[in-house]
Amino acid sequence: GQQLNQSPQSMFIQEGEDVSMNCTSSSIFNTWLWYKQDPGEGPVLLIALYKAGELTSNGRLTAQFGITRKDSFLNISASIPSDVGIYFCAGQESDGSSNTGKLIFGQGTTLQVKP
Amino acid sequence: DTGVSQNPRHKITKRGQNVTFRCDPISEHNRLYWYRQTLGQGPEFLTYFQNEAQLEKSRLLSDRFSAERPKGSFSTLEIQRTEQGDSAMYLCASSSRLAETYNEQFFGPGTRLTVL
């Protein structure tokens, strides 16, 4: 089945540093989403992207929908300790018909921030 | 303004028992989704409803699993004859009826199932 390749798998950075993570797929997606998940909780939606080339910011977070529609990246600027968590990309395949409803998730990037 | 709620938050059961989880979506959201997440992995899609109609089911949803949304509001997910491999976090999400945002799925806190 369809899989998303998310990298890096984990990151350990110093507070104040910028972070970048990305996601690639083998097929075209019509939507890319980025979520953050804390231990024992459900994923929280950070950013949604709908158009190829779209660049969207949410505070210190910036995400882009790749031109090929097969990739997306997320940047976090000036990281702080509360950025710690697991970040997931998720996407919906473009199947040429109506919305299927199913999101496909990456394997996650675990971010640790050292104060 | 309440988010998606799920009950129970934790469930420990013995192999072979039946379990049922409940999900209450965000008010006015007409789409409701179920996912399963195992340790170290991203959520995997199980099924989704638009109002009371179940529109898609994953092959992950074996015949021991059944989901309902009888009145188009809350949903239940039942697992019959549980197996140890069913141990996972079961996540529910909902999304708006608005076409421009119906891909934005908002998740509940999940139900952690442990099958002994």
Residues in chain B with CB shorter than 8 Å from the CB of A105 are: 42-44
Q: Do A102 and B45 touch (CB under 8 A)?
A: yes
Interface contact A101-B31, CB threshold 8 A:
yes
Closest CA to B48 of B63, B30, B62: B30
CB contact residues (below 8 A), chain B span 88-107, against chain A: 91, 93, 100-107
Q: Which helix (H) or strand (E) holds B25?
A: none
pLDDT attached to residue B60? 84
CB within 8 A of A96, min separation 6: which ones?
A: none
Q: Are B40 and B57 in contact (CB under 8 A)?
A: no
Q: Is the pLDDT of residue A97 over 70?
A: no
Q: What share of chain B is helix, strand, coil (3-state, %, to 5)?
A: 5, 50, 50
Choose from A2, A99, A104 for mutation: most chain B CBs within 10 A: A99
**What pLDDT is attached to residue B99?**
65
Residue A41 has pLDDT above 60, yes or no: yes
pLDDT tens column, B24-53: 999 989 999 999 999 999 999 999 999 999
pLDDT band (50, 70, 90) for residue A95: low
| Contact call for B107 and A106, based on CB within 8 A | no
| A107 contact B CB<8A | yes
Three-state SS at B46: strand
Q: Tell me the C-alpha distance between B116 and B34, whole Å.
A: 23
Question: Do the chains contact at B110 and A42, CB–CB below 8 Å?
Answer: yes
